[in-house]
């Protein structure tokens, strides 16, 4: 169902890889709600994914950019405004990567140049994106910037590894930059802390199916899907959330406020031999 919430709005969507990715689903929803956008991803991710199909479907152009490169980002922001015909109203940062996770290094045995690479891609890139937008004065007043995060930024999920630190840093950048962007340009910056979601990126984390099953049993409303996240992001891009900024917003079926659920207790008692 479309409400025309983003009619006439323009933006950039980072990180659409394939039909499972949250950025992909968000792009589809933005298109349905009347928004136009440029798609971008790292050249290597573009070779792996099916972004051309999404561009065709939504009538969008693709500008390859490495989000850790200021030169690439400056080019992206300049070109996006040219293509879309004016300043931007929304930006989605849906990027995360840990080399330590990919290569199976434990949290207690990190290779620090890998750690740094992951921090740059997953968190520092968010600062670089916003600083580029800010310096070019590329956002319209009451524009909205959203990044995707996960609750491992607040609580320990052992196998989430150094991505937890990256997400904590990402959320801090959203608050800090959100202050300056709000004061000076009336632009809002928020993060969405999403349920574990079976995306191509998420599946790289060890024991990920366990994360998903546990969260499903813990959450009163069940896990939020990638589609749910896209819908929530649309609400944050719309004019209905004009005064929401510097927030970390949980889209997790209630998981973050649940101590324990009956289902988890039952499974635990069963495992202990108590019926």
Annotated binding site: 15, 21-22, 95, 167
- Distance separating alpha carbons of residues 147 and 140, to the nearest angstrom: 18
- CA angle in degrees (0–180, nearest 5) for 26-175-166: 70
Structure-block tokens of residue 39: 């798609």
- Distance separating alpha carbons of residues 275 and 272, to the nearest angstrom: 9
**Helices 163-185 + 125-135 axis angle, to 10:** 20
CB 27 within 8 A of CB 91: no
Query: What's the number of CA atoms in the CB half-sphere (13 Å) around residue 84?
Result: 28
CB 189 within 8 A of CB 246: yes
- Residues with catalytic roles: 150, 160
CB 178 within 8 A of CB 246: yes
Annotated binding site for NAD(+): 15, 21-22, 95, 167
């Amino acid at each position: 169902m479309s409400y025309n919430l983003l009619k006439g709005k323009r933006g950039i969507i980072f990180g659409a890889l394939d039909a499972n990715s949250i950025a992909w689903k968000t792009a589809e929803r933005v298109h349905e709600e009347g928004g136009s956008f440029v798609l971008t991803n790292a050249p290597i991710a573009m070779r792996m994914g099916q972004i051309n199909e999404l561009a065709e479907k939504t009538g969008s152009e693709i500008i390859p950019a490495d989000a850790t490169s200021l030169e690439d980002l400056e080019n992206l922001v300049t070109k996006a405004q040219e293509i879309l015909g004016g300043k931007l109203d929304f930006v989605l940062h849906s990027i995360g990567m840990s080399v330590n996770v990919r290569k199976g290094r434990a949290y207690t045995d990190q290779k620090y140049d890998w750690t740094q690479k992951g921090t740059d891609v997953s968190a520092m890139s968010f600062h670089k994106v916003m600083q580029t937008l800010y310096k070019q004065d590329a956002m319209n007043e009451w524009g909205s910037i959203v990044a995707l995060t996960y609750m491992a930024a607040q609580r320990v999920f052992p196998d989430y590894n150094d991505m937890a630190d990256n997400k904590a840093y990402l959320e801090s950048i959203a608050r800090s930059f959100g202050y300056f962007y709000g004061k000076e340009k009336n632009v809002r910056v928020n993060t969405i802390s999403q349920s574990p979601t079976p995306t191509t990126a998420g599946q790289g984390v060890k024991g990920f199916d366990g994360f998903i099953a546990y969260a499903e049993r813990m959450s009163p409303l069940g896990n939020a899907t990638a589609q749910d996240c896209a819908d929530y992001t649309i609400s944050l891009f719309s004019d209905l959330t004009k005064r929401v900024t510097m927030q970390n917003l949980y889209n997790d079926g209630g998981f973050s406020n649940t101590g324990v659920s009956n289902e988890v207790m039952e499974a635990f008692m069963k495992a202990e031999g108590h019926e």
